[in-house]
Amino acid sequence: AQTVTQSQPEMSVQEAETVTLSCTYDTSENNYYLFWYKQPPSRQMILVIRQEAYKQQNATENRFSVNFQKAAKSFSLKISDSQLGDTAMYFCAFILPLTQGGSEKLVFGKGTKLTVNP
């Protein structure tokens, strides 16, 4: 069974600084997808960034980028130039799609609560 571990329950960062959230996962499969989701206090879950395991290049979305280390099964999220609106719970998630013999369910880590301070 796949598992996702986020070892930092809480983190804080000053506005405009950079912060990195850690995520490790466990799977014996080779092709899968990884995501970072953001859940602000208003609770709507929003996709931040995604990574296909077969792509070596790290995904980037504006101020958000990942460091994907497939051999180490590590998938960290870097937020540059942190903004107050980045304050939220961040969830790392894994999915093994049907096309890869998976079950189509997202497996989530327990989340990291990020606070951006002014």
| Least separation in angstroms between CB 109 and other proteins | 7
- Residue 109 within binding range of other proteins, rule CB under 8 A: yes
Question: How far does the chain reach from its first CA to its final CA, in angstroms?
Answer: 41
- Residue 30 within binding range of other proteins, rule CB under 8 A: no
State the virtual CA torsion across 67, 70, 75, 81 in degrees, nearest 10.
Answer: 10
Q: Which of 111, 112, 114, 116 binds other proteins (CB under 8 A)?
A: 111
Quick one: which segment of 18-26, 37-45, 66-74, 75-83 binds other proteins (CB under 8 A)? 37-45
- Residue 44 within binding range of other proteins, rule CB under 8 A: yes
Identify which of 101, 99, 60, 94 has the alpha carbon closest to the alpha carbon of residue 77. 60
| Least separation in angstroms between CB 79 and other proteins | 19
| Least separation in angstroms between CB 45 and other proteins | 4
What are the distances in angstroms from CA 20 to CA 6, 27, 44, 72, 113? 12, 23, 22, 17, 12
Report the distance separating Cα 13 and Cα 4, nearest Å.
24
Site for other proteins, rule CB under 8 A: 33, 35, 37, 42-47, 50, 52, 91, 97-99, 103-111
